[in-house]
Structure 1
Amino acid sequence: MRKNILLTIFIGLLMAGCSGERDTDVISVSILPQKFFIDQLTGEILDVNVMIPPGASHATYSPTPQQYRKLSDSRLYMGIGHLGYEQAWTPRLKELNPDMALFTLSDLVEPIYGTCDHSHDHGHHHHHHHGVDPHIWLSPKVMLELLPQIKEALSAAYPELSETIKNNYPQLFSSVEAIHLEMEQVAANVTQRSFMIFHPALTYLARDYGLEQVAIEVDGKEPSPGMLASTIAQAKAKNIPVIFIQEEYDIRNAKMVSESTGMAVAQINPLAYDWIESMQHIMDLFRKHL
């Protein structure tokens, strides 16, 4: 309720104060990895307004006045979909900027249900609604399939950049395709197909490359002692060699599981800017531990 009131106040103030000329070179996105793809396609010409900074809670983060102003200037909002903050904001975005096009990447992807629920407001968790996992950008296969739609959406919203986007697209597509093919090779050569992770961020990657993700966090919540004991037993039974953690989460339970099983602990950063580098790091960890 308080967020809705604050958003309404911001919208009123911005609509009153933004009657002048707009900066039409602004695009708004949900997370930092999206900026990487847009920068590669546009040659970093656009001012990319990233709504959720790395390390912030997707459920509790409140945008700054500057971010709201940039939203009011944006021609396009390219969302991920199924993140709690998007559910709260998206219905009001048209009030803030009636001319802004909305493009949600998850609408183009076959969803995975029930892996996590990010609808609760607690801790530093980013929250997903309706049990749909939003981590689509962490599957190279998914991103390869989304690239043509991203290209078309950008070209439609920023036609003056269409030639630049067209010229930059083949190189980006080739880079993402190379990551996809490399991930297929990595998955084909592992000796252990199961890995553990605190927050289930690699759900789509695991699905698309025949791996098994075992999550400690359950429905966006810390596990109970009984569930933690069950997780430890599962890790031992499957001889899982590694547990992945993310720095924005409380990793005490992950360390407890590691100490009880002898599993290695490896850190990943799903919200890092450089998507190619992030995926290469994940593949290197698979090569090392699986």
Structure 2
Amino acid sequence: MQARGAGIIYLLTILVLLGCLSARETRAENDPGLPVFVSILPQAFFVERIGGNRVTVDVMVQPGQSPHTYAPSPKQMVRLARAKVYFRINAPFENGFIPKLQSAVPGIEIIDTTRGIVLEKMDDHNNTDDHHHDEDLDTHIWLDPLLVKKQAAIIRDGLSAIDPAGRLYFENNFIRFAGELDNLHNRLSLALAPLKGKSFFVFHPAFGYFAKAYGLRQVAVETGGKQPSARHIAQLIEKAREEKVKVIFAQPQFSTKSAETIARAIDGVVIALDPLAGDYLANMEKIAAAIEKALQ
């Protein structure tokens, strides 16, 4: 019944959406900036840094929601009728959602900000014994500032193609943002350099690119969206004890039950760490500081 109800809601939404298309251009003319949609909050930060006052950014996955379980609301689908561009990042929900969006809003420009970036497998970040999901690619590329520079360049080029009059404005903003990312990367590299080779424990393996960028190792409680087996939990407890780990990091979008089980066994604590926070630069500093403190 739930699936059928969801399908009906979706069809009704599409009908409403199609009814809105005729007014799309009129509404867009009254907007303060180019209507842009993104999947997650960090992307909004990037687009606003580059687009400035020439864009108005809307985000699909709201605070507290997970891209792994997210589904667009009818209100969001209607708002998408006025969007000129959607910057995707290969979040899990996008695979089923983007084709429907293109069908319902044929004029919208879909730009893939992962273009040119080699996505790694989750297992490449997480060397545990009994969790292997080769089909799962890690799309958390925003957690490496140097990969964000590549995404920012794609955003700059995409905005320039749609709004040629703002090309120089976008370029100048990109140069400034790229400098901020370089400075961030240099600060984090300096702070985390003494900890190279050390492991930090997380519930969901979101921090693989962060770990790779700064010479750390991420050990995840779950992989592939599945709760860990009792055997896997026992292995993690043993590993945590061997490495004297006392902190398990968990995202606020996920249940912390398994992480808490491990934390109790090692006399440790579970600490929230949110890779989806909206203030990207400040959040990266916060993530680095939390991991640095946990590994000292």
So what's the TM-score if we normalise by structure 1?
Answer: 0.87
Alpha-carbon separation, structure 2, partners of 1:183 and 1:74:
36
Match of 2:151 in 1: 146
C-alpha spacing 1:191/1:172, structure 2 compared with 1 (3 Å): closer
Task: Between 167-176 and 277-286, report the one with greater CA deviation.
Answer: 167-176
The partner residue of 1:7 within 6, 10, 21 is: 10
Contact preservation (8 Å) 2:143, 2:210: yes
Unpaired runs of 5+ in structure 1? 117-127
1:98 deviates by: 1.1
AA paired with 1:18?
L
The partner residue of 1:256 within 256, 261, 281 is: 261
The partner residue of 2:80 within 65, 71, 80 is: 71
AA paired with 1:270?
P
Contact preservation (8 Å) 1:196, 1:244: yes
The partner residue of 1:222 within 207, 223, 227 is: 227
AA paired with 2:147?
V
Residues matched between the structures, number = 278
* SS, match of residue 108 in structure 1: coil
- The answer to whether 1:30 aligns with 2:33 is no
AA paired with 1:85?
F
C-alpha spacing 1:5/1:90, structure 2 compared with 1 (3 Å): farther
AA paired with 2:10?
L
Alpha-carbon separation, structure 1, partners of 2:239 and 2:98:
39
C-alpha spacing 1:5/1:131, structure 2 compared with 1 (3 Å): farther
Unpaired runs of 5+ in structure 2? 29-33, 125-132
- The answer to whether 1:164 aligns with 2:173 is no
* SS, match of residue 151 in structure 1: helix
Contact preservation (8 Å) 1:71, 1:96: no
AA paired with 2:149?
L
Identity of aligned residues (%): 30
C-alpha spacing 1:199/1:93, structure 2 compared with 1 (3 Å): same
- Poorly superposed stretches of 4+, deviation over 6 Å: none
The partner residue of 1:41 within 35, 40, 50 is: 50
Match of 1:106 in 2: 114
Match of 1:122 in 2: none
1:199 deviates by: 0.7
The partner residue of 2:71 within 46, 49, 62 is: 62
The partner residue of 1:18 within 18, 21, 33 is: 21
C-alpha spacing 1:156/1:52, structure 2 compared with 1 (3 Å): same
So what's the TM-score if we normalise by structure 2?
Answer: 0.85
Deviation string, structure 1 residues 3-47 (Cα, Å, up to 9, x no partner) = 565434322331123212424421110001111111111224422
The partner residue of 1:237 within 239, 242, 247 is: 242
Alpha-carbon separation, structure 1, partners of 2:93 and 2:8:
14
Alpha-carbon separation, structure 1, partners of 2:192 and 2:166:
37
Contact preservation (8 Å) 2:44, 2:278: yes
Contact preservation (8 Å) 1:80, 1:106: yes
C-alpha spacing 1:276/1:108, structure 2 compared with 1 (3 Å): same
1:157 deviates by: 2.1
AA paired with 2:80?
L
Contact preservation (8 Å) 2:122, 2:134: no
AA paired with 1:70?
R
* SS, match of residue 159 in structure 2: helix
C-alpha spacing 1:9/1:107, structure 2 compared with 1 (3 Å): farther
Contact preservation (8 Å) 1:79, 1:86: yes
* SS, match of residue 196 in structure 1: strand
Contact preservation (8 Å) 1:232, 1:261: yes
| RMSD across aligned positions (CA) | 2.3
